[in-house]
Copies of this chain bind each other. A is one copy, B any other.
Amino acid sequence: MSKKLKVVTIGGGSSYTPELVEGFIKRYHEFPINELWLVDIEEGRHKLEIVGALAKRMVKAAGIDCQVYLTLDRREALKDADFVTTQLRVGLLDARILDERIPLSHGLIGQETNGAGGIFKALRTIPVILNIVDEMKELCPNAWLINFTNPSGMITEAVLRYGNWNKVVGLCNIPVNAVYEEAAILDEDPSDLFFQFAGINHLHWHTVFDKKGVDRTDELIKKMYGSGETNSIVANIKDNRLIFEQVENLHMVPCPYHNYYYYTDKMLAEELEDFKNNGTRGEKVKGIEAELYELYKDPDLNDKPKQLEKRGGARYSDAACETITSIYNDKRTTMAVSTRNNGTITDLPDDCAVEVTCTLTGKGPVPYHFGSFKPQERGLLQLMKSMEELTIEAAVTGDRGTLLQAFMMNPLITSGDVAKQVMEELLEAHKKYLPNFFQ
C-alpha cells in the first residue's frame, strides 16, 4: 500500500509527548508510522517547539523512517490522517488551577477529573472535541480518534452521542496499571490472568481469573486490603484508604478513585490541609512541567527522560500506542477502554460510554460482555452515569438548569446553596471557554 501511515497528536506540545514518541518507536516494526503531526494552539507554540525538537531527535536517534511535523494549523494536520490522538487541555494549567481552587475555597473536593472541577473540565473540552470531530468528518473520515483527554469517559460519550462519530476509543492508564501491579501482587505474569473491567472511566471494578479458570479476586483483595501495610505495595493506589471489610464484600477490585466516594470526608480533609499548606495540585504541576521543558531543551537529549515518570500518567503511552497498533493490525489485544455501552453493562443506558475490557480488532474495540452488577456496585455507578449525562448535555446545550442538576447529582459536591454558588463562580471564571453558556 503506497498510502502513508499518518498519526496526528492534538495537544502535541504536552509534556507527555516524548512517552508517546517512545511508544511509536518501540512498535515501529508492527506499526510503521510515516508521519507524526504534533498540533498545538498559539498559546502552546513555545512548548510545541521544545517538545517537537526532542521528538525529532528521538526519531532520528531511533533510525526509523518517520517524519515529525509541528503545526498550529489543525486542519492541515488532520488531512488524510489515520489516527488522531487528543491530549489537550483547554485553558491550560491555569484553568485547572481554577477548577481546583474554587471548589476547595468553598470546602469541596477540588480535583481535575472529579467533582466540580471534573465537570468544568468536561464543559470546556467537549465543544472543542466536537469541533475536531466535525473537521475529521471532512478531512479524514476513516481515521480513528484516540482520546486521552480527561475526563476521558465523558469526552468519549460526547463524541459518540452528540458527535455521531463511532470511530473513537477513550483511554485511561488506570486499568493497564492495575493489570501490571496486581499481577505482581499475585506473583503471576499479566498475560496469564484474565482481568474483566466494567464501569465507567474513573469508577470501575474488576475481577481476575487465572489460566486455570480460578477466580483470584478475593485473594487479591485480601492481599491488597487485608493488612494495614499493604497499601504501599501498589503505587497507583498508594493513598488508598479503603477498608478491607468494605471491599471484601464487593468480590470485585474497585479502582483508586473509589476513595473519593467511599472516603469523601477524609479525602476532603487531606485535600483542604494540602491546599492550605501547598496550594493546588495544578500549581505544583506547573513547576514540574517547567523543569521538564528545561530538560527537554537539552540538544543532547534524544530519549524520554526518567523524570517524566514522576509527572504521573505512567503507561499512558503504552495504552495509546498499543490501542493504535492493535486496531491497525487487528491484533486483538485485550484492554479496558471507553466505548459505547450498547448493552454490555445492562444496568446503564445503551448509548452511553462505559469502560470495559475489550478485544481491539481491526474494526475497533469489541467488548467482552459483562451483564449486570450486584447492588453493591450498581447504585453508585448509575448515580455517576446520570451525573455524566447531565454534564455532557449541559456542555452541548449551555443550559444552566441542566448543569445545576449535574452538580446536585455529584456526591462530591455538597448540594443546595453551595452547589449553586460554586457553579456560578466557575462559570464566571471559565467564561472565555464556555461560549455555549454565554451567548
Selected contact of A243 from candidates B371, B379, B416, CB within 8 Å: B416
The segment from A40-48, A205-213, A282-290 found at the interface with B is A205-213
Say yes or no: is A186 at the interface (Cβ < 8 Å to chain B): no
Say yes or no: is A34 at the interface (Cβ < 8 Å to chain B): no
Contact A261 B379 (CB under 8 A): no
Q: Which residues of B contact A250 (CB under 8 A)?
A: 405
**Chain B, Cβ-Cβ closest to A249:** B401
Contact B213 A363 (CB under 8 A): yes
Contact A368 B366 (CB under 8 A): yes
A252 CA to B417 CA, complexed, in Å: 20
Say yes or no: is A181 at the interface (Cβ < 8 Å to chain B): no
Say yes or no: is A26 at the interface (Cβ < 8 Å to chain B): no
The smallest beta-carbon distance between A376 and chain B, in angstroms, is 5
A368 CA to B369 CA, complexed, in Å: 5
Given contacts A211-B362, A416-B265, whether A368 and B371 have CB atoms under 8 Å apart is no
The segment from A62-70, A120-128, A145-153, A381-389 found at the interface with B is A381-389
**Chain B, Cβ-Cβ closest to A410:** B379
Count of chain copies = 4
Contact A367 B366 (CB under 8 A): no
Contact A249 B379 (CB under 8 A): no
**Chain B, Cβ-Cβ closest to A343:** B346
Selected contact of A343 from candidates B371, B408, B411, CB within 8 Å: B371
Q: Which residues of B contact A55 (CB under 8 A)?
A: none
Residues facing B in A240-273 (CB within 8 A) are 241, 243, 245-246, 248-250, 261-266
**Chain B, Cβ-Cβ closest to A342:** B371
User: Which of A264, A362, A369 neighbours the largest number of chain B CB atoms within 10 Å of its CB?
Assistant: A369
Say yes or no: is A164 at the interface (Cβ < 8 Å to chain B): no
The smallest beta-carbon distance between A415 and chain B, in angstroms, is 5
Say yes or no: is A196 at the interface (Cβ < 8 Å to chain B): yes
Contact A246 B408 (CB under 8 A): yes
Say yes or no: is A228 at the interface (Cβ < 8 Å to chain B): no
A212 CA to B420 CA, complexed, in Å: 36
Say yes or no: is A302 at the interface (Cβ < 8 Å to chain B): no
Q: Which residues of B contact A212 (CB under 8 A)?
A: 330, 362
Say yes or no: is A372 at the interface (Cβ < 8 Å to chain B): yes
Say yes or no: is A52 at the interface (Cβ < 8 Å to chain B): no
Say yes or no: is A409 at the interface (Cβ < 8 Å to chain B): yes
Contact B386 A375 (CB under 8 A): yes
Residues facing B in A320-376 (CB within 8 A) are 327, 329-330, 332, 334, 342-344, 346, 350, 359, 361-364, 366-372, 375-376
User: Which of A266, A343, A404 neighbours the largest number of chain B CB atoms within 10 Å of its CB?
Assistant: A343
**Chain B, Cβ-Cβ closest to A372:** B343
Say yes or no: is A296 at the interface (Cβ < 8 Å to chain B): no
Chain A 188-219: CB-based contact to B (< 8 A → 1; otherwise 0): 00001010100000000000011111110000
Say yes or no: is A414 at the interface (Cβ < 8 Å to chain B): yes
Q: Which residues of B contact A418 (CB under 8 A)?
A: 265
Q: Which residues of B contact A214 (CB under 8 A)?
A: 362-363
Say yes or no: is A10 at the interface (Cβ < 8 Å to chain B): no
Instruction: Known pairs A245-B401, A379-B383, A379-B409; list 4 more (Cβ under 8 Å).
Output: A248-B401, A265-B418, A375-B405, A376-B402
The contact sample of 10 A-B pairs, CB cut-off 8 A, is A245-B420, A249-B402, A262-B416, A266-B417, A342-B369, A343-B344, A346-B346, A375-B387, A376-B386, A379-B382
